[in-house]
Amino acid sequence: MVAHEGARVLASLRTPAEALATVARLKPDIAIFDLHLLEPSMPEALRAVIADNPETAVVVMGLDDQRAAARMAMDCGAFGYMRKPLNEANVLASLLQVKAILACRKGLQAVPRRKGPEHRAVIVDCDALARGLLRIILEENGFEVVAEAASGFEGLMAVERHEADFVCLAVDLPEIDGLNTVACLRAVHPTLPVLMVTAHADRETVSAAIRSGVQDYVIKPFDAERVIAAVRKALA
């Protein structure tokens, strides 16, 4: 499937030792690791391969019940997560995400960080009305909205293209849901403040959002004072 999507596969390996040695020798653009392959010392092994091969984008793959391990992998610096059983759609989405992030990062390396407002936001929500309301609330309180996105994938690309100080991110998103988008953001921008926007006030959703690494959350429909208080708390 990877080759079918246009990538040149340099090696296919079965043991951690072979995999780590081959990545160090070949220095590929992307390395895909099965979480099972990295057990039982997954965090240490993953941090080592990422630290020793900074030009290689590491993607992990695993079963649905390995989400905790997947989030740990993102915390270690992995770029993405392929969920088993694999299919062409999720393989393609992961590869496109990694390729686009790498391209954006390379393009930004030669550009000095521009000076501008201290508080710049990216809004990610598939609901255009919600994005518009949130933009009005933020802009009326002195924040600049530098980009809007309607999906998790578009949101990740917007964050790479714009130098945002924080992200307002919905839970229900196409392609990559909000919680997995947070995990992907944390892999590349571990300290970027993320404010979760949700219509779900149930404890499970809120707890999952906090565990995923968001600074705060706001419930739809928006209360302007609550939104601004949450943003300022996230930026503090």
Tell me: do 94 and 156 sit in the same domain.
Answer: no
End-to-end CA distance of the chain: 44
Q: Is residue 97 part of a domain?
A: yes
> Helices 224-235 and 128-140 sit at what angle, rounded to 10 degrees?
70
Tell me: do 88 and 26 sit in the same domain.
Answer: yes
Tell me: do 201 and 226 sit in the same domain.
Answer: yes
> Average pLDDT per run of 10 along the chain, which is 236 residues long?
80 85 90 80 78 84 69 71 77 71 56 56 90 88 91 88 90 84 84 87 75 84 88 89
Tell me: do 225 and 138 sit in the same domain.
Answer: yes
CA-to-CA dists, residue 12 to 15, 55, 56, 63, 187, angstroms:
10, 19, 16, 20, 24
Instruction: Compute the distance between CA of residue 47 and CA of residue 43 in angstroms, rounded to an integer.
Output: 6
Tell me: do 68 and 102 sit in the same domain.
Answer: yes
What is the number of structural domains in the chain? 2
User: Tell me, what's the pLDDT at 113?
Assistant: 44
**Two tokens at 230?**
């949450």
Tell me: do 163 and 139 sit in the same domain.
Answer: yes
In this structure, the number of other CB atoms found within 10 A of the CB of residue 52 comes to 11
Residue span of the structural domain in which 207 resides: 120-235
User: Tell me, what's the pLDDT at 66?
Assistant: 62
- Domain stops at, among 90, 109, 128: 109
Query: What would the pLDDT profile of 41-71 be if each residue is shown by its tens digit?
Result: 777 878 888 888 888 888 888 776 666 676 6
Tell me: do 139 and 170 sit in the same domain.
Answer: yes
User: Tell me, what's the pLDDT at 110?
Assistant: 46
Give the closest residue to 211 by CA, choosing from 98, 97, 40, 67.
Answer: 67
DSSP 15: S
In the chain, the DSSP E strands lie at 30-34, 57-62, 80-83, 120-124, 144-149, 166-170, 194-198, 216-219
Q: What's the CATH number where 70 sits?
A: 3.40.50.2300
What are all long-range contacts of 100-103, with beta carbons under 8 Å and residues at least 24 apart? 100/156, 100/157, 100/160, 101/57, 101/156, 101/157, 101/160, 101/188, 102/29, 102/57
Instruction: Compute the distance between CA of residue 34 and CA of residue 48 in angstroms, rounded to an integer.
Output: 16
Tell me: do 48 and 129 sit in the same domain.
Answer: no
Q: Is residue 8 part of a domain?
A: no
- Domain stops at, among 109, 130, 148: 109
Tell me: do 222 and 137 sit in the same domain.
Answer: yes
Q: Is residue 4 part of a domain?
A: no
User: Tell me, what's the pLDDT at 169?
Assistant: 94
- Domain stops at, among 109, 139, 172: 109
Q: Is residue 115 part of a domain?
A: no
Q: Is residue 9 part of a domain?
A: no
User: Tell me, what's the pLDDT at 67?
Assistant: 61
